Amino acid sequence: MSAGVCVYSRVSRTRQARVSRIFLASKSPRRRELLRQLGVAFEILDPDVPEQRAPGESPTDYVSRVAREKARAGLLQVGAVPHALVIGADTEVVLDGEVFGKPDGPEDAAAMLRRLAGRTHEVLSAVWVVSSGREEGAVQATKVRFDALDEATVAAYVAGGEPFGKAGAYAIQGRAAAFIPCIEGSYSSVMGLPLHETACLLARFDCAPDASVIDNGSRAKL
């Protein structure tokens, strides 16, 4: 998949009601930080969704499905909230058609970094916005170039702990920025939430940024 965006839309016959509360179905502090930049008030949900790629499932379909399932699982948690709107997202690193998820441990992280070194890979980030009667989503693809990395650099980066909990075993907003000479696409998407696509989806649900929003992203109180 070349750098760009795929957009999905699923609307039921139920008319979309006015949204009163927005929820982010993610425990990622990076997504929370990014969503704050859009100036929308939101609350945090932590749904438990398996992240297992199905046989024959393309990387794009996989990342989109997981993001949609997170949003749907979050919506189930807030079913009693009138006009709830839930955002779900997922990010994966892809090289040679293989999806690199979060590393299982130091050896796995080092192996991922060795494979990414000196090559250009793709980062796919999907975002879905769902309500009781409507679902819309998008997938953003960004190309990321890695410098060659020697063993000492890989070992030091892994020892620092930054690779863990990150797709592809690196964080572009952290020390791994030194490994990346260029990207083609969306920086926020590589971090974990494509902000342009998220803003466009929220606008389609009539959710506009609010300049008065200073702090948000608290855990939902249902």
What three-state secondary structure class fits 199?
helix
Query: What phi and psi, each to the nearest 5 degrees, are found at residue 24?
Result: -105, 115
Among 158, 159, 182, residue whose Cα is nearest residue 170: 158
Q: Which of 90, 104, 210, 215 is catalytic?
A: 90
Measured distance CA(24)–CA(32) in Å, rounded: 8
Measured distance CA(168)–CA(160) in Å, rounded: 16
Among 117, 118, 59, residue whose Cα is nearest residue 91: 59
Tally of CA atoms within 13 A in the half-sphere of 2 that contains its CB: 0
State the DSSP H helix or E strand holding residue 69, giving kind and residue range, or none if neither.
helix 59-77
How many other CB atoms sit within 10 Å of the CB of residue 89? Answer: 29
Measured distance CA(186)–CA(6) in Å, rounded: 14
- Look up 46 and say whether it is catalytic: no
State the DSSP H helix or E strand holding residue 222, giving kind and residue range, or none if neither.
none
DSSP state of 211: T
Annotated active-site positions, please? 90
